[in-house]
Amino acid sequence: MSDLELLYTDVEDDLRASVRALLDDRCDAASVAALYDGDRTIVAGLWKALAVDLGLAGLLVPEESGGAGASAREAGVVLEELGRYAAPVPFLTSAVVATVVLAETGGPLLADLASGAKTAALAVPLSAAPHDPVPATARVEPDAHLHGTVSSVAGALEADVLLVPVRTGDAIAVYAVPAADVTRTPVVSLDMTRQLADLRLDGAAAELVLADGEPAIRRALLAGAGLLASEQAGLAQWCLSTTISYLKERRQFGRVVGGFQALKHRLADLFTDVESASAAARNAAASLAADTPDADLATAVAQSYNADLAVRAAEEAVQLHGGIGMTWEHPAHLYLKRAKADQIAFGSPGSHRAHLAELADLPAPGTP
């Protein structure tokens, strides 16, 4: 593995403080839970504040294209905080995945994403993994009109532009399509804070943005998987800290619940695992930022571990909060739903473990 600096810099700490302060003010659990009862897909005012006021929409966009020119390290810090609030904003889908696809184009669409004027989504299933073949589900007519269908795309409902991978001969091209020209059918999913949509393209007019887009799509999916680990780590941190605070106050049989030895051991184990998840996420983000040869390996390690750990932390939060943890009024269910959905995003933990075994040249179980 490469020798990477994993400690947070002062700049990263300042970025975290700014994001956390804004989320404290604008992203309460009640507004997140309200998404389950209404037609909205994001908290629009929150996204505007993050994207424009804090400039997070252009965090990964080069400065010459109007962005901040930051790296995956800073994006990882932002996602840790977004995970702590289960924030319903398109940062991962637009400011990370779609932006990485367009990063080398330097075109006006990239500048629009950087300014927060538009959002975009890569039109592939949420489960698409960076180590799998790049899905190309649409075909293009000679007049640059697209036909095809794509299932379970994250970020598509709130996107202004969809980036559609299209096979053209031996290459996979990327076309930009106005989202308004695409039939988008919402998918009722467990996690409504990152909603999915099925897409149908019936002759939508498209603009070619990358003739050979497969390398860019792979980089984008790798960035999505690697930085999702930061969101999962942040989510797990919230679940642990909130549960500890509750158990320090809740009293049963004349003493605080957190004083019971069995719960102390249970939380100590979870603390160790959450710290490990944070380290794995940080290593993946740093590897992506440095573009090391180990970035693929670091991402596979982080997703192999963090996806399941986030679910366990959320399950522990629900259970250790007792009866209140099972109610709609307590936000623990929001985190459990987000963690379960994240568990299959950009590849399942099982697929990442299989890929990790390939990278480490380890034989599969049962192989002589």
The 10s digit of each residue's pLDDT in 133-169 is 998 878 999 889 999 999 999 999 999 999 999 999 8
Q: What is the pLDDT of residues 208-230, one digit of tens each?
A: 999 999 999 999 999 999 999 99
- Conformational region of residue 291, where left means phi above 0, alpha means psi within -120 to 50, and beta covers everything else: left
Residue range 281-303: mean pLDDT, rounded: 97
User: Tell me, what DSSP letter sits at residue 170?
Assistant: T
Burial track 186-207 (b if 16+ CB lie within 10 A, e otherwise): ebebebbbbbbbbbebeebebe
Q: What is the pLDDT of residue 5?
A: 87
Q: What is the pLDDT of residue 362?
A: 84
More confident residue, 59 or 135: 59
pLDDT over 80 at 279, yes or no: yes
Q: Which helix (H) or strand (E) holds 55?
A: none
User: Tell me, what DSSP letter sits at residue 58?
Assistant: G
Query: 246 - beta bridge partners?
Result: none
Decide: 231 and 342 in contact? Cβ < 8 Å.
yes
Q: What is the pLDDT of residue 193?
A: 92
Decide: 221 and 130 in contact? Cβ < 8 Å.
yes
Q: What is the pLDDT of residue 43?
A: 74
The radius of gyration computed from the CA coordinates of the chain, to the nearest angstrom, equals 21
Of 42-46, 72-76, 187-191, 253-257, the poorest mean pLDDT is in: 42-46
The rounded distance, in Å, linking the Cα atoms of 181 and 162 is: 10
Per-domain residue ranges of the chain: 215-360
The rounded distance, in Å, linking the Cα atoms of 363 and 173 is: 35
Q: What is the pLDDT of residues 123-132, one digit of tens each?
A: 999 999 999 9
The rounded distance, in Å, linking the Cα atoms of 120 and 156 is: 8
pLDDT over 90 at 179, yes or no: yes
Domain 215-360 fold? Butyryl-CoA Dehydrogenase, subunit A; domain 3 (1.20.140)
